[in-house]
Amino acid sequence: MRKVKYRILPKGKCFALIILLFIVIGCQPTPAEDAVQQKKDHQLLEVGRKETDDQRLLREQVEAPVIYSNEINGANGAFQIRIDADVDIPNETKIPIVQVEPVDLNQEQVSSFYQYFCGDLEMYSRPLNGNMTKTAIESRIRYLMQEISELEEAGKENDPYTEECRSDLAYYQSIYPDAPETDSSVRCDGKLQRITEYSPISHKPVTSYTALVAQESDDVYQSKGYVIQFSVRNRNDLEHAIQVDGQWFMKKSEALLTYFDGRNSAFGEQSEHYRIGNLDEPVPLSISPREALERTQGFLHEIGMDNQFVVDSITLYHNPGTNPNLHNWEEYSYRIRLTRSIQGIPCAYSSLPVISEYGESWQYEQMLLFMDNDGIFLFHWFGPIRVTETLLSQVELLPFSEIMKLFEAYIRQSLLPEAESDIMAHNLTYQKYTIDRITLSLQRVQIADNYNQAMLVPVWSFYGVLDEQTPYETRTDWELPNSLVTINAIDGTIIDLTKGY
């Protein structure tokens, strides 16, 4: 039983870490790289087109064991990869290549989640219109009319500033009819709203999107010490990223749905945790891992998504009650990672975003829930997608033994030299990985010159933990947020998750 220990975070940052979008500015491919990517797209489909009528299970087709063990060591012993892993392969005979695209959360989906989480609660939503009420807009209109009058009396009818004031006046007059009377909360009915964001300085609109922001009460100091929250945000409508008054407004941030009941703080980076391998192992919760699995499957059925998502893994989280940033009593919970299932094949997970030329992000889809004895207290769905086309219904895969040769070659040619170079430069004391899970699943790869479409292709992923020491910190059993290496199961190429291909 391995407990994953994390650094203590500043108070109040726990939930924010789960829902925050980290904006990463990445380098874009050169024209030559684009050509290579187009060629790779074409070649991948051509290689995968070696369709077969093999009706054996995928594990038999690739000749993979149930458990795989191996060890890769550097010359000085400071670098090590120890593999003692479950080899997870879908119990299917076919694995496809499909085309997907990002989508918004529609009202039907939002209503299902809202009813499940908030159906019996008295929830409130704050009108969102740039935080401008009718009273505030009236004040600005009066000011602009007075300003224009004084400018015209001074003979400045055609002055650029006068024209700007006239434009602002027309704008505020146009939004006045739909502005809220006050900024007080109103009862929430679970309906999505069109939200407009305004520049904090000029008060002009810069972007709009469909969203819902609801909470149990305005009083954050309730006797129970927390407020239940439910929120949805869909993708922005901007044509590209723009900067207004020193703030960036990004195009197409992923659709996001979250629910948070703050009764339990055993989640996030501040808690110890370990992945559960045996659903019947004893745990310090009244519901067993198997019962947590069954409750999760019931949840998926109730919201109508039991044919779309499956449970990927169950992790036990523990707040020992000694962290000054958390409740000062001991708490436990389960983190259950859900993954989309395509024709019986689960999708791989990654916390990395792929960033386009304009800074728009396309995060890999994630669905997480945290559950304790009383039910789900945190839910997070980020970056939903939909299948638009099945490109190939069944593809031929490389043998598992060949994949492991490619894995070891990549480690020795890439990770090992980098680590040993850092060790020699005294930037790193040691680096040791433990891989406890190897999966065959579908991974999103970008289609060249089309940022809003991608393919899901078969890949091998390698998950585990990292033990590492640098002059600045020590990471003990630090859970890898992504696969250490992602290998294309068709042609054996390495997929860079930060580039998307």
For residue range 80-118, what is the model confidence (pLDDT) as tens digits? 999 999 999 999 999 999 999 999 999 999 999 999 999
Q: Residue 6 pLDDT > 60, yes or no?
A: no
The SS3 assignment for 482 reads coil
Say what the pLDDT of residue 8 is. 30
Q: How many CB atoms lie within 10 A of CB 74?
A: 20
Asked whether residue 481 is assigned to any structural domain, the reply reads yes
Cβ neighbors of 104 (< 8 A, separation 6 or more) are 210, 234, 235, 255, 384
| Same domain for 313 and 175 | no
Is 60 exceeded by the pLDDT of residue 310? yes
- Provide the pairing of β-strand 474-479 with 345-346: unpaired
What percent of the chain is predicted at pLDDT more than 90? 49
Beta carbons within 8 Å of 294's beta carbon, 6+ residues apart: none
Which of 156-165, 192-201, 415-424 is predicted least confidently? 192-201
Q: Does residue 45 surpass a pLDDT of 90?
A: no
What local confidence, expressed as pLDDT, does residue 201 receive?
Answer: 61
Do 278 and 154 reside in the same domain of the chain? no
326 plus 472 within the same structural domain: yes
CA dist., res. 339 & res. 334, Å (int): 16
Q: Which residue among 161, 182, 203 closes a domain? A: 182
| 236 domain-assigned | no
Residue after which a domain boundary falls, among 182, 217, 252: 182
pLDDT tens-digit map of 410-420 = 999 999 999 88
The mean pLDDT of 303-330, rounded to a whole number, is 91
In a domain, 237, yes or no: no
Out of 72-86, 166-180, 257-271, which region has the weakest mean confidence (pLDDT)?
166-180
Position 43 scores a pLDDT of 57
Give Cβ neighbours of residue 29 (< 8 Å, ≥ 6 apart). Answer: 37, 499
Q: Let me know whether 425 and 286 are in one domain.
A: yes
Give the rounded percent of residues in the chain with a pLDDT score beyond 70. 78
Same domain assignment for residues 51 and 156: no
Question: For the chain, how many structural domains are there in total?
Answer: 2
pLDDT at 209 over 60: yes
Q: Which of 365, 367, 366, 363 is nearest to 376 (CA)?
A: 367
Contact criterion met (CB below 8 Å) for 288 and 279: yes
Residue 177 banded pLDDT, cuts 50, 70, 90: confident
- Phi, then psi, of 137 in degrees rounded to 5: -70, -40
Least confident of 12-21, 255-264, 378-387: 12-21
Residue 317 shares a structural domain with residue 453: yes
- Residue closest to 468 by CA, chosen among 433, 424, 436: 433
Lowest mean pLDDT, pick from 192-201, 279-288, 480-489: 192-201
Helices 289-302 and 107-118 pack at an angle, to 10 degrees, of 130
d(CA 163, CA 70) in angstroms, rounded, equals 73
Average pLDDT, the chain: 82
Residue 76 has pLDDT above 50, yes or no: yes
Asked if residue 20 has pLDDT above 90, the reply is no
434-445 confidence digits (pLDDT tens): 999 999 999 999
Residue 1 has a pLDDT of 44
**CA separation for the pair 102, 44 (Å, rounded):** 22
Check the CA dihedral 64-70-74-78 and report its sign. positive
β-pairing verdict for 450-469 and 430-447 = antiparallel
Provide the pLDDT for residue 23: 24
Of the candidates 314, 440, 449, which has an alpha carbon nearest to the alpha carbon of residue 371? 314
- For residues 269 and 176, membership in a common domain is answered with no
The predicted structure's pLDDT at residue 221: 46
pLDDT at 499 (0 to 100): 81
Q: Are residues 176 and 275 in the same domain?
A: no
Q: How far apart are CA 459 and CA 61, in angstroms?
A: 15
- Give Cα 67 distance to the centre of its chain: 29
pLDDT of residue 225: 61
CB 216 within 8 A of CB 228: yes
d(CA 275, CA 406): 27
**152: containing domain:** 132-182
Residue 364 pLDDT exceeds 70: yes
CA–CA dist 132, 141 (Å, integer): 12
Residue 367 lies in a domain: yes
Number of H helices, E strands in the chain: 9, 24
Three-class DSSP category at 497: coil
pLDDT of 22 strictly over 80: no
Residue 285 sits at φ, ψ, to 5 deg, of: -130, 155
Compute φ and ψ for 399, nearest 5 degrees: -60, 150
Residue 39: what pLDDT?
A: 40
Rounded to whole angstroms, the Cα distance separating 387 from 256 reads 18
Per-residue pLDDT reduced to its tens digit, 238-262 = 666 566 666 666 666 679 999 999 8
- In this prediction, residue 349 carries a pLDDT of 87
Asked if 236 and 249 touch (Cβ cutoff 8 Å), the reply is yes
Residues 71 and 145 in one domain: no
Instruction: Give the pLDDT confidence of 218-229 residue by residue, as tens digits.
Output: 554 455 567 899
Q: Is residue 230 part of a domain?
A: no
SS3 (DSSP) at 71: strand
List, in sequence order, every beta strand (DSSP E) within 35-192.
67-73, 79-88, 97-102, 124-125, 186-187
Indicate if the pLDDT at residue 18 is higher than 80. Answer: no
Our CA angle for 184, 187, 192, nearest 5°, is 100
In a domain, 328, yes or no: yes
**52 and 154 part of one domain:** no
Given a cut of 60, whether residue 321 has pLDDT beyond it is: yes
Q: Which of 206, 209, 211, 196 lies closest to 247, judged by CA?
A: 206
Residue 368 counted as domain residue: yes
> Which band of pLDDT confidence, cut at 50, 70 and 90, is reported for residue 200?
low
Query: Does 133 score more than 50 pLDDT?
Result: yes
> Helix, strand or coil for residue 160?
helix
Query: Does residue 344 have a pLDDT over 50?
Result: yes
97 and 21 fall within a common domain: yes
Q: Does 190 map to a domain? A: no
Q: Do 46 and 172 have their domain in common?
A: no
